[in-house]
Chains A and B, each alone.
Chain A
Amino acid sequence: MRLLLFGLHALIVCIVLFSCENFEPSAPPDDSLLDGPVEGLSEAENIRFINGDVAFNDEVFIPETGLGPLFVANSCGSCHPGDGKGHPFTTLTRFGQHDDTGNQYEHLGGPQLQNRAIPGYQPESIPAGVKYSKLTPPANTGLGYIDAVSDQDILSWADPDDIDGDGISGVPNWVEMKDYLFARPGTVEVNGKYIGRFGKKGAAYDLLQQTAQAYNQDIGVTSTFEPFDTYTGLEADPEISDQTVQDVVFYLKTLKAPIPRSTQNEEIMAGKLIFNDIGCASCHRPEMKTGPSSIAVLSDKTFYPYTDLLLHDMGPGLDDGYTEGSAKTYEWKTPALWGLGLSKFSQGGGYFLLHDGRARSIEEAILLHGGEGEASRENFQSLSESDKSKLVKFLENL
């Protein structure tokens, strides 16, 4: 009897040992996650991806490793949880520029407000009377694809004088290139300025600029790329290695594009038709192609970001009086809509949409469109409740 008992226990142990994973939580469906690499990376690229993943999602800065003294967040992951859109807790505030002559308040902490400080220091405040914009951290999805779109394609979508008469113009944001950046092959230069494509105003030329500035302006970490301390204004020793910054850039470039959850649902398919019919696709271009990329799997790929990477007049309601590069204060770069439906899983269960998170639902975000988006907004308002619902379902499926 005892031998039998012993054997039974041994059997249980064997079952546990060889089937443990059946008792563990399964991975969420791939289409419910924003993180994860694009398919087809080489083994060496997988290593770089993991290195960047760790630096981006796991590294928390403390004063001893470079945090602050002034900062907004203490890690990349604080602003982009799960590589998704950020929460108002880490909303960035920028101030001090109202036209293309540059920021007039850099001596008073501009362009970015560092609203937090390590103990013993006082955070910045916005000078009285100066206009500012609040900017919700965006999702990181598919950035490598966007980075690999050719300037020629972006320019081909621009229609600054609205020659086609559809009420949509669209212009690139022409920005100065940081001296630590290298121009993409075939990049277009006009009067010493280049097309920006990252950031709410499209003011960052590439992901190296976006990353180095985020370390510096958001976390207070100096690098050889952005060596000036945001508190003293003085050049400081680098607090992060070039390798780590480049690994993070590689990680951001190789994050997969969001995967639509359902492609055959009739309501969603109908919603897609409505999206085109009411003019949303004029700015939120569904399809793009990449040009050549240093990362082989990103070259010559078709992808579906739902943006045109151009600035559009969004009307007085979204004009905060602040801008970057050559953009006007009322102009915003068309945000990519891919991954929109997953935003609430990184924003705490609800939506914080538009550039500053003021819209708490997709419907509200549509209704806040003005300027070049006004016609589409009016078309949306005239839809039946059923069609509105189909459109929202389509957007949530992206």
Chain B
Amino acid sequence: MKFFTFLFLLGAILGFNKADAQIDTTLLKRTPKDTSSLQLNMDAVYSRPFLTIGKLPVALGGYVEANWQHLGTDGVTEGHQFQMRRLTLFVASTIYKRIKFLSEIEFEGGTKEINIEFASVDIEFHPLLNLRGGIVMNPIGAFNQNHDGPKWEFVDRPVSATQLLPATWSNVGFGIYGKLYKNNWVYAYEAYLTNGFDDQIISNTENKTFLPASKANEDRFEESFNGVPLITAKTAVRHRLIGELGISYMGGVYNKFQEDGLVFDKKRRLHVFALDFNSTIPITKTWLNTEWAFINVDVPDTYSQQFGRNQIGGFLDIVQPVLRTNILGFERSVVNAAVRLEYVDWNREKFNETGGDIGDDFFAVVPGISWRPTVQTVLRLNYRYNWQRDIFSNPASKTAGFQFGFASYF
């Protein structure tokens, strides 16, 4: 509560100052971006534009995403939709030399969902050994940690990141991380023990093994569902010219196998492996970004095959800057052409009854144009076309349409 009061007061101070319009603008300063070293996906939470206010030891920031869309599925459309996807507020503070704090509070769909996505204290003992504790974002893949809307050229988040992996997925826990720089290389690792998933992943109205279902369990911020920590670990390497490659793992027990000493079931585990890679082709400045996840869940044999044991999915974004010029007074604006290719298979099993493949898969192609009047703001026009099949692989339902929106740090 005190935290929110503090936040409100800061907001009020800022708002008052803005309304005044006679403010000494030197009071508000942008925290300069750290360009001294190679940045990795794991740095995304701190690599954001912050505003500092005078000598206040707190930096503030956030971003906002809103859009219009008109999508239709097999001839049926919900018409014009205007959506306030999310408003996110950051508060960062250097508590003492190498001790810092950052929090990220997100309002999604208006106030339908309010989540503390990140709220942790980092203590640096050594560049190779930092302790992080609090609400942390599990470093599975790249998108989960590097998900800010203004960084992406697409209105929708990747389906593989939100409907296969549970981005944004955060939990209470502790962990360590560190980085090592050597010439043009940087190596990094992260490892956390946190609360984790619950049995909603195989018991949900999505009718599929669905890791994001556990996001509905808000109790995970105060107690573990089964007392077994979720392990998340990632290692990444980046070369200044080649790009960044990340390999990550997340695993643990998802079911409540016992309570009050009474055994309900055996421990059932899930394992998630993810690979991510991003690079910029030097000559064309084409940016490539991809992430693929492989999921294995121990689903009881006697349960329904509707809930798959093995899943796979990922996306590839290709972004090509096509114009860097002054547009409407924005001196360094950039126009990009982009395309996203997406694939998710929620069930890679075969039917016990027929031996045939189980469908439940999804493909999408999303071409788009984006305009960045500044680095921190993006306007984007996407055309989405996706195909989704049911578990029987019946003819796919097709969804397509335009989306237009903006995302901006503030």
Query: Chain A residues in contact with chain B, CB under 8 A?
Result: 2, 5-6, 13, 16-17, 20-21, 23-28, 59-60, 62-64, 71, 73-75, 78, 81-82, 87-89, 91, 116-123, 345-349
Contacts and interface: CB of A to CB of B under 8 A. Distances in A.
**Residue of A23, A73, A81, A119 contacting most chain B CB atoms (<10 Å):** A119
B276 to A, nearest CB: 32
18 contacts: A13-B404, A20-B402, A23-B401, A24-B75, A24-B401, A60-B206, A62-B203, A63-B203, A87-B351, A88-B353, A88-B354, A117-B303, A119-B199, A119-B202, A119-B203, A120-B265, A346-B394, A348-B394
Contacts of B17: none
B75 A118 contact: no
Nearest to B206: A60
Contacts of A2: 327-328
A16 B401 CA distance: 9
A279 B273 CA distance: 61
Contact of B353 (A21, A63, A89): A89
A81 B303 contact: no
B302 interface: yes
B393 interface: yes
A119 to B, nearest CB: 5
B302 A23 contact: no
B392 A91 contact: no
Given A81-B392, A119-B199, A119-B255, 17 more contacts: A2-B328, A5-B327, A20-B72, A20-B402, A23-B401, A25-B400, A28-B74, A60-B206, A62-B204, A63-B203, A71-B304, A74-B207, A74-B304, A88-B351, A89-B392, A116-B304, A119-B202
A348 B327 CA distance: 52
Q: Decide if the interface of chain B is mainly helix, strand, loop or mixed.
A: loop
A122 B304 contact: no
A73 B353 CA distance: 14
B71 A24 contact: yes
Nearest first, the 4 closest Cβ-Cβ pairs linking A and B are A27-B75, A24-B72, A348-B392, A25-B398
B96 interface: no
B77 A24 contact: yes
A90 B216 CA distance: 29
B235 interface: no
Contacts of A348: 356, 359, 392-394
B123 to A, nearest CB: 40
B203 A23 contact: no
Given A62-B203, A74-B207, A119-B202, A27 B300 contact: no
Counting chain B residues whose Cβ lies within 8 A of the other chain, the interface size class is 35 or more
Contacts of A23: 383, 400-402
A20 B401 contact: yes
A71 B328 CA distance: 63
A70 to B, nearest CB: 10
Given A62-B203, A63-B203, A119-B303, A349 B394 contact: yes
Contacts of A117: 300, 302-303
B264 A120 contact: yes
A88 B352 CA distance: 9
A25 B306 contact: no
A290 B121 CA distance: 73
A46 to B, nearest CB: 15
Contacts of A75: 207
Interface string B347-359: 0000101101001
A89 B302 CA distance: 13
B21 to A, nearest CB: 29
B376 interface: no
Contacts of A64: 203
B220 to A, nearest CB: 17
**Residue of A60, A71, A89, A349 contacting most chain B CB atoms (<10 Å):** A89
Contacts of B354: 87-89
Nearest to B208: A60
Contact of B72 (A21, A28, A345): A21
Nearest to A5: B327
**Residue of B76, B327, B401 contacting most chain A CB atoms (<10 Å):** B401
Nearest to B203: A62
A348 B396 CA distance: 11
Interface of B: 70-77, 80, 199, 202-207, 255, 264-265, 268, 300, 302-306, 327-328, 351, 353-354, 356, 359, 381, 383, 390-395, 398-402, 404
A225 B169 CA distance: 43
Contact of A349 (B199, B268, B393, B401): B393
B302 A78 contact: no
A212 to B, nearest CB: 22
A362 B390 CA distance: 24
A5 B326 CA distance: 12
**Residue of A2, A62, A71, A348 contacting most chain B CB atoms (<10 Å):** A348
A293 to B, nearest CB: 28
B392 A346 contact: yes
B254 to A, nearest CB: 10
**Residue of A5, A71, A88 contacting most chain B CB atoms (<10 Å):** A88
Contacts of A28: 74-75
Contacts of A26: 74-75
Contacts of A17: 70, 80
A148 B378 CA distance: 60
A21 B399 CA distance: 11
A345 B351 contact: no
B77 A21 contact: yes
Contacts of A81: 390, 392, 394
**Residue of B207, B265, B351 contacting most chain A CB atoms (<10 Å):** B207
A62 B210 CA distance: 13
A204 B354 CA distance: 29
B364 to A, nearest CB: 13
Contacts of B390: 81
B164 to A, nearest CB: 18
A354 to B, nearest CB: 15
A279 B299 CA distance: 50
A6 B359 CA distance: 45
A120 B398 CA distance: 38
Nearest to B329: A2
A152 to B, nearest CB: 39
B255 A25 contact: no
Contacts of B400: 23-25
A63 B202 CA distance: 11
B356 A73 contact: no
A350 to B, nearest CB: 8
Contact of A89 (B77, B80, B264, B351): B351
Contacts of B206: 60
Contacts of B268: 119
A60 B74 contact: no
B401 to A, nearest CB: 5
A118 B203 contact: yes
A345 B205 CA distance: 24
B74 A27 contact: yes
Contacts of B73: 25
